[in-house]
Amino acid sequence: LGLDLTKRLVAALGNDPKAIEAYGKGALIGAGGELEHGALWHVPGGYSMREILGNAKAIVPSATKVGGPGARIDIPLHHVNAAYVRSHFDAIEFGVADGPRDNEIAFILAMSTGGRVHARVGGLQVHEIKGEDGQR
């Protein structure tokens, strides 16, 4: 599931894995479930994105939430090779109007092809990334 969703997302963003600059993942769990059901998505969701994107160095940020129909979740984003690149700190909101129902779960992957428009918080810049440890 993780590899298929990752390939579909990369295709939707232009089919060039090198163009992806930020990523994140999450799970929205119906009220009959528990947060730990969403935690099961950490490994297949994160490792599939890192693999398809050329072994990205940074940990994939994530969020999980239990909620009823109409619940929304913000999926955090940060740079694929350096978590401290502040221009890429962002989030993508996700929701399904009639879900999740009690016995449903949505596994979510999110990517972007750049940082925030007009980012000016300072800190580590994309051109300064060393890519050694996933942080800087």
pLDDT of the chain along its 136 residues, tens only? 899 999 999 999 999 999 999 999 999 999 999 999 999 999 999 999 999 999 899 999 999 999 999 999 999 999 999 999 999 999 999 999 999 999 999 999 999 999 999 999 889 898 889 878 888 8
Strands 22-29, 62-66: parallel, antiparallel or unpaired by DSSP?
A: parallel
Separation between Cα atoms, residue 95 and residue 112, nearest integer Å: 18
Reference 42, options 58, 21, 27; nearest CA is 27
Q: What are the b/e assignments for 49-82, b being 16+ CB within 10 Å?
A: bbebbeebbbebbbbbbbeeeebebbbbbbbbbb
Contact 88, 78 (CB under 8 A): yes
Class in CATH terms, 2-128 = alpha beta
Q: Can you give the residue ranges of every domain in the chain?
A: 2-128
